[in-house]
Amino acid sequence: MFGKFLILALAVLALAACAKPNYLSPQTQELADVAESPKACSQQLVSQQRCYSLVWQNVPQESQAASFVLNFYSLFDSGLPLDPLDTLTVTLWMPSMGHGSSPVRLKKISDGVFLVDRVFFIMPGEWEILIRFKKGEELIEQVVQKITI
């Protein structure tokens, strides 16, 4: 009888040990899942020797804050996450009105993975997400993602 109980206890323990660890907060785990999702480089960054993808977490709406994740990968190995070579900045701009929105928050999550939140599109219309790479004050490269709200 004890032998059957021991085998059952070991089987339960073995199955439980295979579970996904629960030490990450739900938001951090979600970001980790995005970072581990299939790599898709939508844009090449020649000066950075990188490519990147932009994945929305919260769909942009006029009345709510949105957020997205920027994933950067080597141009030569899209499975290899790499940080940009230069300083990364993200700005929201509405060209038709000649102004932007409040500054976004940019947070590094892991190598090559950045969360951009506090993304407020303050009015409907055509917007640009300006993804810039700078060395000091010198602009090295800029990519423009267009979006209509």
Domains of the chain by range and CATH? Answer: 26-148 (2.60.40.10)
Residue 79, pLDDT score: 80
**125 or 9, which is more confident:** 125
Q: Is the pLDDT of residue 76 over 90?
A: no
Q: How far does Cα 107 stand from its chain's mean position?
A: 9
Q: How far does Cα 103 stand from its chain's mean position?
A: 17
* Model confidence, pTM: 0.72
The DSSP element (H or E) to which 14 belongs, if any, is: helix 2-17
- The string of pLDDT tens digits covering residues 11-26 is 443 444 444 333 334 4
